[in-house]
A and B are shown apart, each in its own frame.
Chain A
Amino acid sequence: MVQDLLTVIVGGEAGHGVKKSGNVISILMNELGRYVFEMDDYPSLIRGGHNFSVVSSSTSPVYSHYMSADIIVCLDKRSVDMHKDRLKDGGSLVYNADTVTLDPGTGLPMKTWIKDIKGIPLMAGTIGVAAVSALCGVEFSFLERIFKANYPRGLEANVELARMVYERMKDDEGKFELATAETRPGHLLAGNEAIALGAAAAGLDVYIAYPMTPASSVLHYLADLSKKLGMAVVHPETEIAVINMALGSAYAGARTAVGSSGGGFALMHEAFSLAGMSETPLMVILASRPGPSTGVPTYTCQGDLDFALNVGHGEFPRIVLSPSGTNQAFEKAAELLNLVWKFQVPGILLTEKHLGESWMTTSIDPESVEITEPSLYDGPLEQYGRYEKTDSGISPMLFPPVKGTVVKASSYEHDQKGITTEEAEKVVEMQEKRYRKEKAIREEMRNLLTVATYGEGSKSLVTYGSTTLSALEAVKNVDDVRVVQVIFLRPFPDWALQEALSGSDVIVAELSISGQFENLLRSKGFDVSAHIRQYDGRAFDPPELAARIREATQ
C-alpha cells in the first residue's frame, strides 16, 4: 500500500549526529518530492543528554510534526525507553544492538560497525539515515547522491556504513512504499532563516545581537551570509549595547534589526522606549522560550505575548506581529522592516522556537519583496526639523552627513528641531504627533494581511504564531472547523478579525498557562467559547490537539 504521511523519529545522545541525521532525512524526503516538517528536540547542553529529531513528511503540505512515528531509530538505550511507545501499529523500530536487545525491532550493531570501519561516534546518525532510507525502499544510488551532498567529510566511510545497513535490512527494504513526486515542492528552511532572509530582502543593512536561544540562529545565519549579502553583523558585549548600537545605526540611515529571547529582550526595554521617543526605526526579533526567567531555553511557548505588547515605559506607537510558518515568516519579516521605516517606530516580530528552529518546506520569492523607502525631507535645509509636525505624524528624515542643517534626535521630550523641552504645550504637541502615527499604522494595516483564515467551517479555531501550524495540521482531521490566525497583534486588527470570525464560535488554542492571547481577544470585545492551552514547552501534537478541538466543540 502506498503511504503518504510518514513520521520518523531519530533519537540519541548529543554528539551522535542526531540533528544532522534528522536534517538529512528531511533532505531525502524533500528530494523524493515530499513536503517536510522537522522538529529538533534538544536540551540545553553540549554533550550527552538526549536529542531527538522528528521528521513528518507527505506529498501534500505538512504544517507541523507528529509525535507518533512510523519509524523510530534509537541510537542509544535511552531513546528506546523514551520513544518506543510512540511507535504506530505496523511501524518499525531500529535500535543500536550494541547497547540493547529488543523484540520486536531491528537491531543494528552500530558501535561495532563504526569501530570496524574506524569511524567516529557521529556516524551513528548516518546509520540511522540509511536505515530509514532502506525501510522506505529508496534506491541505494539515490541515497549515495544525498550522502555526497551532505557528508562531504568521511564520505566513503558513511557510504560503506549505509551499504552495511542495506545489506542487513534487505528483508525490510521498501517496507514503507512512499508516495513521491517528480519535483521538490520547495526548499528546506528553518523559521529563523526565513525571518533573516525576509529582512535581508527588505534591505536589512545591519544585524546586531547577543546570543540567546532560540534567537541565536538568526545571528549565526546572518553572520555566515554577511559577505554574500553585503551586511554588517555584530555581536557586542550585552543586549543593552546591542539595542543602543542599533538605534545609532538606524539614526545614521542603516536598516537595522536586533534579536533575542525574553531575558535578553528584557534588558533592551529602556532603549526600546527610546526608539519610540526618538522615532528611530527598529526591528526586533523576539524568539520566546518557556519562562519565566531562564525558563526552558531550548523549548517552545507563547508566554511572552503580554510582554511583547506592552514592553517599554511611556506611551508610543509600535507594531507587533507574529508569523506562523516559514513562508509567512519571510513575507512578514520583510513587511515589518518596511513598516518600521515607513512609520519610524519600533516593531517586534514575535516568534517561538517551534517556528524559529523547525525546518519546513518553503516557497518564497525574494524578487517579490519591495523596499519601502522612508519619507525623506526635500524642503529648504535651513528649515529642517527632525520632528516636524505633520498630519500623519511622520516627520521626513535626513541622515548625516547633510551640509546645511543638523539632524537632532532625542530621548528627552523635544521640540520640532529635536531640542529638549519641558513646556506643557510642546509636550502635548509631540505626544500627539507621535500618537497620530498609531492611526496611520492602522490605516496602512487595512491593505495588509493582518488576519488569515484557512479552510472552511462554522467554528473558528483562533491562534497566533507557530501554534497556527499545529492547528492547521490538527484540523485536517476535524470536521467543520477553520483556522483563523491573528498575525498583527498590535495595533490589533479588530476589523479584520471580526470579518474573519463572522459570528462563529471561537475556540482559542495557545501555549500559555494564563491564556494571554485569549485575554487579548476578550479585551478587544471578542467572545471565546472554549480554550485549549498547553505549557509544557512542547508544540501541540496534531492528533492530540484534534481530540481537544473535538471535545471543545461538542
Chain B
Amino acid sequence: MNLETYAENTWCKGCGNFGLLNSFKDAVNELVEEGALKAENMVISSGIGCHGKTVDYLNLNSFYSLHGRAISCVSGMKIANPNLTVVAFQGDGDAFGEGIAHVIFSAKRNMDAMLLVHDNMVYGLTTGQFTPTSDKGFKGKSTPRGSIEEPMNPLALVLASGGTFVARGFVGKRKHLVGLFKKALLHKGFSFVNVLQPCVTFNNTYSHFRENTYILEDEGHDPADFQAAWDKALETERIPIGLFYQVEKPTFTDLLLEDLVPAERRKPPSTAISEIISER
C-alpha cells in the first residue's frame, strides 16, 4: 500500500531517519500483506525534533504531539480504543530527557504500545547539543568542552522498568530492523525499539556502528532469559542489536477496560446516574 504523503522531505541527505522510515514502511506493508495488521487501525504519534517529521511522511492516522509526550498521547488513544495499534516515534532527547517519566511508566504499566526511539545521540533540529545518550566528552553547542555526564543506557532502563519487549536496531542493518519492527508491532504489550542512527550533520556514527555492532540472533541469545538480556544490555565493547527480551504479560488496557471501548460508548447507562443520586 502507498504510505507516501505529499509532504516535502526536509531531512539532510544521508540522514539515518531515512533508513528508519523505510524500514518502518516495509514492516507495515509486509504485515498488512500478511493480513496481520490493518493500516486503518494504526495511529502513530511523534515528539518534536527531526524524528518528529515521520508523521508527516507517513500516510497513516497520526497525532504530531509535543516534545517528550508521544508515548503518553498514544497511551490515551489506546485507553480510548484498545482496538487501535499505536506507535510513538520519539528522539533520544525527546524520550530520555523531556519525556523519560512516560517511558518508564509505559513500561511499568505494560501499555500496549510501540515506542520507537530514533537514537542519534544528539539534538539535530536544535543544531547540535548533547543528549541523554551522548558519550561522555561529546562536544556539542551546550557542552563545548565536552559532556561531563555519563550516557544513559536506554535498554537497561526499559528492562528495569518492566518492558515486555526490548530491542535495539541499527539503520545500517535494514533487513534486521524491519524484522524487529514487525515483531514489535505484533507484540501485545509495551514494545521498545531503540534504533541507533547517525546524524550526518552533527554526529556521524555510521562507521562506528558498522564496525562495532553484532546481531544477537546470530549468537544464539535467548530473548526469554531476562538475566541474559540484562547482561547484553550492559555490554559496551561490542554493541549487540536485536531482540534482547520478550515476555507476554497482561496489558494495562486489558486490565483497565475488560470489554469496555470508551470511544465507542456514546452514552452512560441511562439509569446509572439516577441510581447513584437516589442513593444519596
Residues of A near any B CB (own CB < 8 A)? 187-189, 197, 200-201, 203-206, 208, 225, 228-232, 234, 236-238, 240-241, 244-254, 256, 270-271, 274, 278, 362, 364, 366-367, 371, 373, 399-404, 406-412, 414, 418-420
Contacts and interface: CB of A to CB of B under 8 A. Distances in A.
A271 B76 contact: no
A401 B83 contact: yes
Given A208-B76, A401-B83, A420 B262 contact: no
Given A251-B77, A254-B80, A399 B263 contact: yes
B102 to A, nearest CB: 6
Interface string B61-85: 1111110010011111111110110
B7 A254 contact: no
What 10 pairs between A and B have smallest CB-CB spacing? A248-B76, A254-B80, A245-B76, A244-B72, A252-B80, A253-B263, A249-B76, A205-B262, A410-B64, A366-B273
B269 A238 contact: no
Contacts of B152: none
B280 A188 contact: yes
A419 B56 contact: yes
A203 B53 CA distance: 35
A409 B260 CA distance: 25
Contacts of B260: 230, 232
A188 B42 CA distance: 45
A230 B76 CA distance: 17
B278 A256 contact: no
Interface string B254-268: 001100101111111
Nearest to A241: B72
A208 B260 CA distance: 16
B40 interface: yes
B43 A366 contact: no
Contacts of A230: 260, 265, 268-269, 272
B59 A244 contact: no
Given A187-B277, A232-B257, A237-B102, A246 B76 contact: yes
A411 B38 contact: no
A101 B189 CA distance: 65
Contacts of A274: 65-66
Contacts of A240: 69, 72, 101-102
Given A246-B76, A254-B263, A271 B69 contact: yes
Given A228-B275, A244-B72, 10 more contacts: A241-B69, A245-B73, A252-B80, A274-B65, A274-B66, A371-B266, A401-B84, A402-B61, A407-B62, A411-B64
A103 B207 CA distance: 91
B256 A232 contact: yes
Given A197-B277, A230-B260, A400 B266 contact: no
A237 B6 contact: no
11 contacts: A206-B262, A230-B272, A232-B79, A236-B75, A248-B80, A252-B84, A252-B263, A274-B66, A373-B266, A400-B42, A419-B56
A18 B102 CA distance: 39
Contacts of B79: 206, 208, 232, 234, 245, 248-249, 254
Contacts of B41: 400-401
B274 A206 contact: no
Contact of A402 (B40, B45, B275, B280): B40
Contacts of B263: 205, 249, 252-254, 399
Interface residues of A, dominant DSSP: mixed
Nearest to B109: A236
Contact of B268 (A200, A401, A414): A200
Question: Which of B45, B64, B104 is packed against the most chain A CB atoms within 10 Å?
Answer: B64
A439 to B, nearest CB: 27
B63 A410 contact: yes
A228 B269 contact: yes
Contact of B273 (A200, A408, A420): A200
Contact of A241 (B38, B55, B56, B101): B101
A252 B80 CA distance: 6
B60 interface: yes
Interface in B213-266: 256-257, 260, 262-266
B143 interface: no
B69 A231 contact: no
Given A228-B269, A252-B84, A402-B40, A189 B63 contact: no
Given A400-B43, A419-B56, A420-B64, A201 B76 contact: no
A200 B260 CA distance: 15
A47 to B, nearest CB: 28
A229 B60 CA distance: 33
B76 A251 contact: yes
Contacts of A407: 61-62
A236 B45 CA distance: 19
A236 B105 contact: yes
B5 interface: yes
Contacts of A366: 273-274, 277
A408 B60 CA distance: 8
A89 B262 CA distance: 57
A406 B28 CA distance: 15
Contact of A247 (B55, B76, B270, B273): B76
